[in-house]
């Protein structure tokens, strides 16, 4: 026989707003993928791992000059410094076929410090 023990960790849930802006004059289809994780060794040394709660992919359409706020929730189980800039955002003109990853992936990290859970 064996004994199973459950350890419940404290969770820290943080609301995050992803602001999407269509600066073009055209209608744009957008796909957001939250499943992407930073896997480079350098990044893992600095930033911890966390989980996005809820849907892992979103598809929406933005009209010309439209700004859309996507409400997300990040879940942390340990204190540390985390990079919230992991979502991948793809866009295409509504009448095109090919999706292109937006340049926001090359921007500065969006860091959050969790110092108490």
Write down all domains in the chain, each with its CATH number in brackets: 1-80+89-93 (2.60.40)
pTM of the model: 0.75
How many CB atoms lie under 10 A from the CB of residue 35? 10
User: What's the pLDDT at 22?
Assistant: 93
Q: Are 72 and 34 in contact (CB under 8 A)?
A: yes
User: Residue 32 and residue 17: Cα distance in Å, rounded?
Assistant: 13
Question: Going by DSSP bridges, is the β-strand pair 100-101/57-62 parallel, antiparallel, or unpaired?
Answer: unpaired
pLDDT at 103: 65
Per-residue pLDDT tens, the chain, 117 aa: give them.
Answer: 555 555 556 788 999 999 999 998 999 999 999 986 655 444 444 556 789 999 999 999 999 999 999 999 999 988 888 888 888 899 999 988 887 877 655 566 788 888 887
């Amino acid at each position: 026989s064996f004994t199973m023990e459950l350890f419940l960790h404290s969770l820290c849930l943080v609301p995050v707003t992803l602001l999407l802006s269509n600066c073009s004059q055209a209608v744009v289809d957008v796909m957001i993928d939250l499943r992407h994780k930073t896997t480079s060794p350098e990044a893992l040394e600095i930033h911890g791992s966390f989980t996005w709660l809820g849907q892992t992919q979103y598809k929406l359409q933005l009209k010309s000059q439209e700004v859309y706020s996507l409400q997300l929730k990040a879940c942390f189980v340990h204190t540390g410094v985390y990079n919230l800039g992991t979502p991948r955002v793809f866009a295409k003109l509504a009448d095109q076929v090919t999706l292109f990853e937006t340049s926001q992936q090359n921007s500065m990290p969006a860091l959050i410090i969790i110092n108490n859970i």
